[in-house]
Amino acid sequence: MGWMQWLQTLTNIMYAMVLLGVVWEQGSWTVTGQTLLQNGDFETGPANITTNSGQEVPIVGQNALPGWKLQGTVLYVSSGGNISLPNDGHGVELGLNGQISQVFSAEKPGSPYALTFSIGQAGEKDECLASNLVNVTVSPYSQLFQLNAQFTPESWDTYAWGFVAQDITLDLVFKSQPGEVDPNVTCGPVIDTVALKEFGTIESSKGNLLLNGDFEQGPYIPVNASHGILLAPVSDISSSSLPGWSIGPSNPVKYIDSAHFHVPNGAGAVELVSPQQGAIQQNVTTVPGLAYGFSFEIGDGNDSCFGNMTIKFQAGPLTQNHTYFSGGFGGKDLVSIGFKAESTSTLVSFMSLSKHYGDGTSFCGPIIDNVMLMVASSGLRLSIMLVSCIISFTLTLCLTI
């Protein structure tokens, strides 16, 4: 074992020992509700339509689909044949200028929400992939989504997108967007399984300075979401679908649950599926010169994602890489360090540096969970000083050799 590895091992042991002596109190997390929207699974079809497996039938009339208002070309589709849907049931295809909308009531203005929905395509149509663009709006928030086909082996993606209610009455709109495709191509995005989750009062745990460091608060997860939920990039944490964390810069991360994956702790965790383009980060208020302890768990989701998974993480002035070897069958490492804050704001961030394919075609990656940033106890402060002394002594010794 090299001296740097020995030093890291010593630091981990010291930190783990003092961390066991830290007593902290769990704060309150209040979630006021999560549910499918009215006919959010589209299983109640238009009264004048009878569909067979694999069919696409135009819907006539703006109020013909229960729970939804329609504009432009909208088709009612049934799973089967070349059409695959998340619940093997029904969905709606948005054709040229196709739009569906639904009005719902917020608990109160200022309430943060996460919208969950699935986007797919009607059949195995390569020419349709570029046209599967849909703009999602809850005024004044708006974001463009597209079936990516990189993050799941299925023919659909399930996304979560956050927003803050600006009023009591809100209008959710899905509208197809023309892409750079042949104008004669008439296929469009298929929408299914639309649900909302409202995040109530969310407080950080006493002791852990990070908000939602255990990732137990996340978007609505459909029962059949066996491939996880893609969290849309967002820089403003107030409208994040992962409370407390910003996502990006340009690609999503994946939210997973213990019902479908191996999760290091609790019910939820984050999978870094977009190498160098999909990260999570959070800024925390700190005291310059004060010592802090930082720890997290890294593992794999028992989803056949294997190999050397390298991440880059930052905790204030420290930026390090860590490699976790995954056998693809579920496992985890504890990583812990100590540092002194250099400013009043400390950044905590995680990014994957390596590319992995769980099934040969779709991206997968390391699982991050149980992230903690705590003011150091006297024992931890002593260990940080000791490690600093060891580093100084070792460097001095090396320079004299």
Q: What is the CATH number of the domain that holds 331?
A: 2.60.120.260
Cα torsion 358, 226, 311, 253: sign: positive
Residue after which a domain boundary falls, among 154, 175, 201:
201
Average pLDDT over residues 210-233: 93
172 & 250 share domain = no
* 197 and 250 fall within a common domain: no
**Do the domain assignments include residue 3?**
no
**pLDDT at position 163 over 50:** yes
Task: Indicate the SS3 state at residue 36.
Answer: strand
Instruction: Tell whether 10 is covered by a domain.
Output: no
78 and 118, same domain (yes or no) = yes
Q: Could you tell me what percent of the chain has a pLDDT over 70?
A: 81
pLDDT at residue 397 greater than cutoff 60: no
SS3 label, residue 238:
helix
My answer on whether 175 and 215 are in the same domain is: no
Same domain, 117 and 246: no
Instruction: Read off the pLDDT band of 152 (50, 70, 90).
Output: confident
For the chain, the average pLDDT equals 83
pTM for the whole structure: 0.84
**What pLDDT score was predicted for residue 50?**
77
Q: What percent of the chain has pLDDT over 90?
A: 59
Confidence of residue 148 (pLDDT cuts 50, 70, 90): confident
Q: Do 350 and 231 belong to one domain?
A: yes
Q: Which residue has the higher pLDDT, 18 or 239?
A: 239
pLDDT at residue 286, as a whole number: 97
Q: What is the pLDDT of residue 179?
A: 64
Q: Are residues 126 and 170 in the same domain?
A: yes
- Residue 137 in domain: yes
Asked if residue 355 and residue 300 are part of one domain, the reply reads yes
Q: Specify whether 246 is located in the same domain as 261.
A: yes
16 located within any domain = no
Residue with tokens 């948005």: 94
pLDDT for residue 391 is more than 50: no
- Residue 17 lies inside a defined structural domain of this protein: no
**Structural domain contains residue 26:** no
pLDDT tier for residue 150 given thresholds of 50, 70 and 90: confident
What pLDDT is stored for residue 8 in this prediction? Answer: 45
Residue-wise DSSP of 166-215: -SSEEEEEEEE---SS-TT----EEEEEEEEEEEEEE-PPSS--STTTT-
> pLDDT tens, 279-321?
999 999 999 999 999 999 999 999 889 899 999 999 999 999 9
pLDDT of residue 88: 80
Q: Looking at the structure, tell me whether residues 168 and 311 fall in a common domain.
A: no
CA atoms within 13 A on the CB side of 399: 6
Q: Looking at the structure, do residues 236 and 276 belong to the same domain, yes or no?
A: yes
End residue of a domain, out of 181, 201, 221: 201
Does residue 382 form part of some domain?
no
**SS3 at position 42:** coil
Output the pLDDT for position 81.
Answer: 78
Give the domain extent around 143.
33-201
Domain count, the chain: 2
Q: In the listed set 142, 168, 201, which residue is the last one of a domain according to the structure?
A: 201
- Is 1 contained in some domain? no
Residue 221, Cβ neighbours under 10 Å: how many?
22
Q: Are residues 177 and 318 in the same domain?
A: no
Query: Taking Cα atoms as reference points, which of 203, 363, 172, 199 lies closest to residue 275?
Result: 363
Residues 63-115 have pLDDT tens digits of: 999 999 999 999 999 988 777 788 788 999 998 889 999 999 988 899 999 99
Start-to-end CA span in the chain (Å): 19
